[in-house]
Amino acid sequence: MIKRVFIIVLDSFGVGELPDADKFSDVGSNTLASISKSPKFKFDTLAGMGFGNIKGISVIKKQPNPTAAVGKCTEISMGKDTTIGHWEIAGIVSHTPLPTYPNGFPQEIIEEFTKETGRGVLCNKPYSGTQVIMDYGKEHVESGKLIVYTSADSVFQIAAHEEVVPLETLYEYCRIARKILTGKHSVGRVIARPFTGTYPDFARTPNRHDFSLFPPKQTMLDALAQKGYDTIAVGKINDVFAGRGISKYTYTHSNNEGMAITMKIAREEKFNGLCFVNLVDFDMLYGHRNNVDGYAAAIAEFDLWLADFIKILNDDDMLIITADHGCDPATASTDHSREYTPLVVYSHKIKPVNLGIRKSFSDIAATVVDIFDATLETPGVSFAKDIGL
């Protein structure tokens, strides 16, 4: 019997374009293939687990005696962002895309936001998060107006200098925006983007905070919580699910902190249920900034940590490693990419079989609720029996 499941989401670690990548302007995207060309790339642990046995992966050597069950997952939701991806992992398929704003937010939204916050707005268009503070940061500091911007994702982002707008005030402005952005303007996330420094040396701080939509349906977190299981969130998981179905959560400021917390939970907490982890640096620091070497080094660091992590897992533990979308740092785009995501399943109790190409991220949710004998309405198909559970 499995008592503890760890799901680790390597945020944006795609493994090749999906068949419908052309609809998302992502033909040719392959996050893994791009970073594998970097001298910083090391993948020993995951390669040994059988990562190279995943269909379609040629940059990792095949393993004749893998230690994990492996496959890859197809995203069937209409999106390629954090919210949609995590929701599908947790069992919800989103057939309607969340709203995006390639021309900025409508004037009525901006006017209501300005009225409620008492502050003017700068920018209001899609922008790189690092570039927007370079281009508007000085005026923001001088005027006190808020930098509001978006991206290709369904996000309303508010950037503000921590000495001009205290963190708690910025978070309150985000809550105001979250209340305004409803109905047809229900964006996936409102994101606080604080920064510090003096012009031209502004820098974003780790005090980002996401204010997400409530999931429209029950997720595997709800299903487990209703049966009395523990549901532990690490990183931005609590934000992505708006706190629903989560019994305990810890925010993190980096991959290293997230990995350390996950290791501590595995060593010290005798919970019964799910520990759901997001490691965001791959996406936030490297994918969106087209930093191939940085992405490769971060994966190498995770791979080294993973070697120690699997050594401490108990006989009744199971680990699932996956991703929520791609973000190929070698393409001209700085946005997410429409890609398959990896599926690596490790436990002392499972068969290290090849799980093939899964038809939905939600197969993960179906498997988790199957293991814990919970009930969830999801299109996902459990692979618990395939791995011998």
pLDDT in tens, 264-309: 999 999 999 999 999 999 999 999 999 999 999 999 999 999 999 9
Domain positions in the chain are: 4-96+214-371, 107-212
Q: Name the pLDDT band for 4 (thresholds 50, 70, 90).
A: very high
User: CA angle at residue 16 from 69 to 236, to 5 degrees?
Assistant: 75
In this predicted model, which residue has the larger pLDDT, 157 or 206? 157
Average pLDDT over residues 166-179: 98
Collect all residues with Cβ–Cβ distance below 8 Å to 332 and sequence separation of at least 6: none
- What pLDDT is stored for residue 49 in this prediction? 98
Average pLDDT over residues 234-261: 96
The pTM score is 0.91
Tokens 């929701």, residue?
87
138 membership: H or E segment, kind and range = helix 129-143
Per-residue pLDDT reduced to its tens digit, 103-155: 999 999 999 999 999 999 999 999 999 999 999 999 999 999 999 999 988 99
d(CA 310, CA 317) in angstroms, rounded, equals: 10
Contact 143, 178 (CB under 8 A): no
**Per-residue H/E/C for 300-330:** HHHHHHHHHHHHHCCCCEEEEEECCCECCCC
pLDDT for residue 204 is more than 90 = yes
Fold for domain 4-96+214-371?
Alkaline Phosphatase, subunit A (3.40.720)
Does residue 143 sit in helix, strand or coil?
Answer: helix
Residue 360 tokens, joined: 């939905």
d(CA 82, CA 336) in angstroms, rounded, equals: 9
First to last CA, the chain: 8
Contact 300, 41 (CB under 8 A): yes
250 membership: H or E segment, kind and range = strand 248-250
Residue 240 tokens, joined: 């992505």
Provide the CATH number for the domain formed by 107-212 in this structure: 3.30.70.1250
Per-residue pLDDT reduced to its tens digit, 63-112: 999 999 999 999 999 999 999 999 999 999 999 989 999 999 999 999 99
Looking at this protein, which amino acid is placed at residue 182?
Answer: T
Per-residue pLDDT reduced to its tens digit, 352-361: 999 999 999 9
- What pLDDT is stored for residue 153 in this prediction? 86
Contact 316, 271 (CB under 8 A): no
* DSSP 8-state assignment for residue 97: P
User: CA angle at residue 253 from 251 to 259, to 5 degrees?
Assistant: 80
d(CA 201, CA 16) in angstroms, rounded, equals: 36
What angle, 0 to 180 degrees and rounded to 10, lies between the N-to-C axes of helices 255-268 and 292-312? Answer: 10
Nearest CA to 31 out of 268, 285, 267, 340 is that of 340
Angstrom distances, CA of residue 362 to CA of 62, 289, 321, 339? 26, 29, 14, 15
Collect all residues with Cβ–Cβ distance below 8 Å to 137 and sequence separation of at least 6: 147, 159, 161, 195, 199, 202
Beta bridge partners of 343: 71
d(CA 294, CA 300) in angstroms, rounded, equals: 10
